[in-house]
Amino acid sequence: MSVILVTGSAGLIGSESVRFFCELGYTVVGIDNDMRRVFFGADASTEWNKRRLQAKYGPAYLHYDSDIRDRQAMRDLFAAYNKEIALIIHAAAQPSHDWAARDPFTDFDVNANGTLNLLEQTRHFCPDAVFIFCSTNKVYGDSPNQLPLLEHETRWEIDAAHNFYAGIDETMRIDQSMHSLFGASKVAADVLVQEFGRYFGLKTACFRGGCLTGSGHAGTELHGFLSYLMKCTVSDIPYTIYGYHGKQVRDNIHSSDLVNAFYHFFQNPRVAEVYNIGGSRFANCSLLEAIDLCQQIVGRPLQWQYQDSNRVGDHIWWISDVRKFQRHYPDWQLRYTVTDILEEIYAVNGARWRREKMS
């Protein structure tokens, strides 16, 4: 029996991974203790997603309410499945740079020490397994803000002749920049994942994503850009834009497209790889453009206000260059545009958000 182990299994990327591999006939072991509720409050709880996965997949999905920081718990779990573990998808994290500044110890313990714990268990119990880490473009800090950006009517952009016009690739420097404490803890984890590949020969990869999204996202003000924006539009919740005239640009990758990339790597793994991953030029938007799309889809205006101060370490413009991954795995392609993503978020969650508003 081949086992797929997924951390953060009730979250956006984790639950998408559970669905993907259960549908392929694998047994999936999920680890998720609903820390998202601790980070962002009851509205961000992933308990509903856990119950949905258990109901749909039954014994094919084995859930553990465990903490990745708990060495003994992780040792016991890895020992139980041992060399049956073929793939680890590490999606559990504290994902907000605002929250990290409030509690740096917990942020670092979850993001860095939790990752180290999982790598050590992989090395001891299933060294032939593939280890995929959900890293972040925040490992580059605010270095992208030094690019020669141009202000357009609805977005910041870069000249079409610039080397990074197709997107920012893995050569962007990670030092001499402001990362936020969240970015720093993810840098530590990212480098650890690479080092366990280079030093111990594990088949590891860091996927440095930006805005990861989809209908399974429990979006909140501090994390989950498109999901929360659509929720605010549907539920008449005021939204705040922080800085850059609302023209900051993000590429957005649907969780299904990302997990499909994981699968391609799993089929033909490499050692200590790093990939920038996102919607690229195929799926990106500014905040103002995303607001306009939400309003069109829902058919009502969003209440929003503007604060001139931006979030510390926030990017003005980020589009991922995914061509390195596409060179390594040419059969992988993006499928979801920003409009596709927002329409799906609305279709899946709109009625539930309206009910919650009325209750």
Q: Where are the domains of the chain?
A: 3-358
Averaged pLDDT, 2-9: 97
Whether the pLDDT of residue 217 is over 80: the answer is: no
Best CA proximity match to 142, nearest among 107, 176, 171: 176
Whether the pLDDT of residue 302 is over 70: the answer is: yes
Strands laid side by side in the 3-7 sheet = 61-64, 27-31, 3-7, 85-90, 130-136, 203-209, 273-277
Q: DSSP 3-state assignment of 132?
A: strand
Whether the pLDDT of residue 220 is over 80: the answer is: no
Whether the pLDDT of residue 312 is over 90: the answer is: no
**Region 3-358: CATH code:** 3.40.50.720
pLDDT given at position 222: 59
pLDDT given at position 138: 94
Residues 172-197 pLDDT 10s: 999 999 999 999 999 999 999 999 99
Report pTM.
Answer: 0.95
pLDDT given at position 43: 78
Q: Please tell me which residue, 299 or 41, carries the higher pLDDT value.
A: 299
**Angle made by CA atoms 165, 166, 171, in degrees to the nearest 5:** 90
Alpha-carbon distance 3 to 11, whole Å? 19
| Helix H or strand E encompassing 317 | strand 317-318
Of 75-79, 306-310, 311-315, 345-349, minimum mean pLDDT range: 311-315
Residues 39-59 pLDDT 10s: 888 877 889 899 999 999 999
* Chain-centroid distance, C-alpha 109: 18
Average pLDDT in the chain: 95
pLDDT given at position 336: 98
Of 215-229, 244-258, 342-356, minimum mean pLDDT range: 215-229
Averaged pLDDT, 115-127: 98
Whether the pLDDT of residue 29 is over 70: the answer is: yes
Length of the chain counted residue by residue:
359
Averaged pLDDT, 303-312: 90
Q: Please tell me which residue, 184 or 1, carries the higher pLDDT value.
A: 184
